[in-house]
Amino acid sequence: MLLVIIGLSVLILALLTFLALLPRGGRLHRWANTEVEPYISVAICAGVALGFTMMLSGVINLLGAS
């Protein structure tokens, strides 16, 4: 159950980070068009993948299939 909760937390954190970096009011985020922009994209993608993987692993453990 702990893996499901942590996975959901990581997924929510990645989603909130993504939403915080979206353009607002016609203005880009201050990190847009900088040298760190590709790394932020990779970090968000990794967070989503990690969250789903941890949730899936937790569900499999709860079902007793491991």
Place of tokens 């702990």: 2
Largest CA distance in the chain: 50
Q: How far apart are CA 59 and CA 63, in angstroms?
A: 6
Q: What is the pLDDT of residues 12-59, one digit of tens each?
A: 999 999 999 889 988 888 888 889 989 999 999 999 999 999 999 999
Q: What is the pTM of this model?
A: 0.82
How open is the CA angle 15-55-14, to the nearest 5 degrees?
A: 15
Can you give the residue ranges of every domain in the chain? 2-19+34-63
